[in-house]
Amino acid sequence: MANSKKRLATNVAGAFFVDSTCIDCDTCRQLAPETFKELGDYSSVFCQPGTEAQEQAALRALVACPTGSIGCEKAFDAKAALAQFPMLIEGEVYYCGFNSEKSYGANSYFVKHADGNWLIDSPRSTAHLLKAFELMGGIKYIFLTHRDDVADANEFAEHFKAERIIHRDELSALPEAEIVIETNEHEDFSADFRIICVPGHTKGHCLLLYKNKYLFSGDHLHFDRDSRHLAAFPDHCWYSWQEQSASMSRLAVHSFEWVLSGHGQSVCQSRDQNRVQLLELAETMKSIKR
């Protein structure tokens, strides 16, 4: 829980605030954009929640914040706030919440599936999430997009006897993985799940495409709220920007509606919009020298 003595001066007056332990991960701005925004090197409350919906969104941000940097100085129902996670996105796809500082606050997701449930990247291992996943039928597979977002995957794997999946070039972050992705292109894991290798952000970064509709995009691709366009992070490319741009072009052959990112905003837009924006992004990336 945040410390009111460390309350940032950039917060507006009122119950909700961010303290100076914030790592500027963007999670709160994604979950409650009407309350939080980036001011300097931190997030701050720029407008106190004015409606019940805004307050619930701010409480979701409080729960999801990886560093416990969001405070609320009025009484609230903590159990109800926790119970909002995992949060249904659509169909059988959920956002886990409880982002982990170990992955710099990356988002993680859960897919409920008749052949066994999937966890995509790892949230914090908390008693609440373990119980919630138990009630949803456990976890069969844990898919790690890349080395940075492993977080508490081993604890979830141990608890649920789940199989961990990661590319061979990311294996040093998860040597215990039961299933090692060997392809550098794409392969169908099963009828509903396709693994797509997109080297660039890291050498063995992979995406997971579910039902040709939901693309779990890790740190390869996200939606930029300002430009309203698919985007990549040039300043956070650890392996090869040139390869990431080539991977972006190749990704356009796959069709999807949702981009569910690790870092950055997620989005649902038409398949055509995604394809056109991906190709434009790949061209733009080529012109950025790194």
Give the interface with ligand SF4 as residue ranges (CB under 6 A).
18, 22-28, 43, 61, 65-67, 69-70, 105
Closer to ligand SF4 by Cβ: residue 26 or 170: 26
Closer to ligand SF4 by Cβ: residue 30 or 217: 30
**Rg of the chain on CA atoms, in Å:** 19
Query: For residues 102 and 82, is the Cβ–Cβ distance under 8 A?
Result: no
Q: Shortest distance, CB of residue 64 to ligand SF4, whole angstroms? A: 6
Closer to ligand SF4 by Cβ: residue 61 or 120: 61
Tallying the residues shown for the chain, one arrives at: 290
Q: Shortest distance, CB of residue 96 to ligand SF4, whole angstroms? A: 14
Q: How many CA atoms lie within 13 A of 213 on its CB side?
A: 9
Q: Shortest distance, CB of residue 109 to ligand SF4, whole angstroms? A: 17
Distance of CA 149 to the CA centre of its chain: 9
Q: Shortest distance, CB of residue 61 to ligand SF4, whole angstroms? A: 6
- Residue 123 burial (CB count, 10 A): 29
Closer to ligand SF4 by Cβ: residue 58 or 267: 58
To the nearest 10 degrees (0 to 180), the angle between helices 153-160 and 127-135 is 40
250: left (phi over 0), alpha (psi -120 to 50) or beta: alpha
Q: Shortest distance, CB of residue 30 to ligand SF4, whole angstroms? A: 9
Q: Shortest distance, CB of residue 25 to ligand SF4, whole angstroms? A: 4
Query: For residues 176 and 191, is the Cβ–Cβ distance under 8 A?
Result: no
Closer to ligand SF4 by Cβ: residue 10 or 249: 10
Largest CA distance in the chain: 53
Closer to ligand SF4 by Cβ: residue 40 or 137: 40
